[in-house]
Amino acid sequence: MAAGAAMRRANIIRREHDDGVTRVVFTVMLPCFILDKILGSPVLQSYSMVMWAIGLGFSFILLGALIGLIVGRIIGLERGTGMRTFALTAGCQNFGFTAAPVAEILWGPGILGLLFVHNIGVELAMWSVGVMMMSGDRRISWRRLLNGPIIAVIIGLSLVALDLDSSVTGPFRKAMSLMGAGAFPLAIFITGCLMSDLVCTEKLSWKVILGSAVVRLVLTPVGILCVAKFLPLPTELRQVLVVQAAMPAGMTAILLAKMYGGRPAVAVQIVIGTTVISFLTLPWIITWGIQWMELKPL
């Protein structure tokens, strides 16, 4: 992310490059990465596991946004001053770019397939309820829900359900794996470029940063970990939720704020602020969650 910001400041990566790079990441590279991790994943053969993962992914975005609205009102935000952007950004965790590497370190590459299925629920919530919150429009653009990552998960789950995933091998599978390997580094890099454009466009607000940290790194993790502890969930899903609980604010909200009349600069402050603070909170939340649920990392 810092490298992307530096390249933007040096005018090496220009604004006219952003759309092409982002399109390649989300329509080619990230779907390849997701398919590569889903195919052959035995944990996804359980229909109940898949439904729990999607349902919880959707529900936690609603929970986070609700907490964000309450905290936003407490700190004095109102509609027109960044209230909706605050609530949605603070309520949405970084469900992909940061979560995937952390989950793989803790539980191994086999957990990534379940993580991406969980992320279907998050994507559905962000592009339906999230868009309605940010725009004030009560209509849902269903075409927005059919993006590259969601289509990749649907194809992957279909192949697993039909027991055809083992037949995707050879040079095609290798090419898919190679194309997918750069998805997260490139996505984070171009996000750094975009954030560099927005970081100085609005005056820094400490109440927004600290308020979002309370939402994202204190209250919402407590809710997620309680659900993981007390609901009858499979161990693998608990592993995913421990990681999700510790994540800083997600970058998707910046995109939604730009597209649907929100306050992108407010979203950038929240993402940067919670990401920096999470260097301290992330290890503690994960360690405490693992011990509370008696999980065993690698």
| pLDDT exceeds 70 at position 141 | no
Q: Write out pLDDT tens, residues 214-254.
A: 999 999 999 999 999 999 999 999 999 999 999 999 888 88
In angstroms, the CA 221 to CA 234 distance is 19
Listed residue (92, 86, 84, 174) closest to 126, CA to CA: 92
Over the chain, what is the mean pLDDT?
Answer: 88
The predicted-structure confidence for 75-134, as pLDDT tens digits, reads as follows: 998 777 789 999 999 999 998 778 988 999 999 988 999 999 999 899 889 888 888 888
In the beta sheet, which residues pair with residue 249?
Answer: 93
Instruction: Give Cβ neighbours of residue 261 (< 8 Å, ≥ 6 apart).
Output: 134, 135, 136
Return d(Cα 256, Cα 31) in angstroms, integer.
20
Give the per-residue pLDDT at 142: 66
Shortest CA distance to 89 belongs to which of 247, 229, 240? 247
Higher pLDDT, 216 or 185: 216
Residue 279 has pLDDT above 70, yes or no: yes
Mark out the alpha helices in the chain (DSSP H runs): 2-9, 15-24, 30-38, 47-74, 83-91, 99-107, 112-125, 131-135, 142-145, 148-161, 170-181, 183-198, 206-214, 220-230, 235-246, 252-259, 264-293
Q: At 93, give phi and psi (nearest 5°).
A: -80, 160
Average pLDDT over residues 25-54: 88
Average pLDDT (194-220) is: 86
CA dist 54 → 153, 167, 249, 269 (Å):
11, 26, 19, 29
- Residue 144 — very low, low, confident or very high, per pLDDT cuts 50/70/90? low
Q: What is the separation of C-alpha 219 from the centre of its chain, rounded to a whole number of angstroms?
A: 18
What is the pLDDT, as a whole number, of residue 79? 75
Contacts with 173 (C-beta within 8 Å, 6 or more apart), sequence order: 36, 39
The residue-averaged pLDDT of 279-291 equals: 95
Give the integer Cα–Cα distance in Å for 231 and 238. Answer: 10
Cβ count near 59 (within 10 Å)? 16
Q: What is the largest CA-CA distance in the chain?
A: 58
pLDDT at 92: 94
The pLDDT of residue 265: 84
At 149, is the pLDDT very low, low, confident or very high (cuts 50, 70, 90)?
confident
64 alpha carbon, distance to own chain's centre? 13
CB 228 within 8 A of CB 285: no
To the nearest 10°, the Cα dihedral for 135, 136, 137, 140? 70
| Tokens standing for residue 175 | 């090419």
User: Within 13 Å, how many C-alpha atoms sit on residue 129's CB side?
Assistant: 20
Please check whether residue 18 is in contact with residue 194, taking contact to mean a CB–CB distance below 8 angstroms.
yes
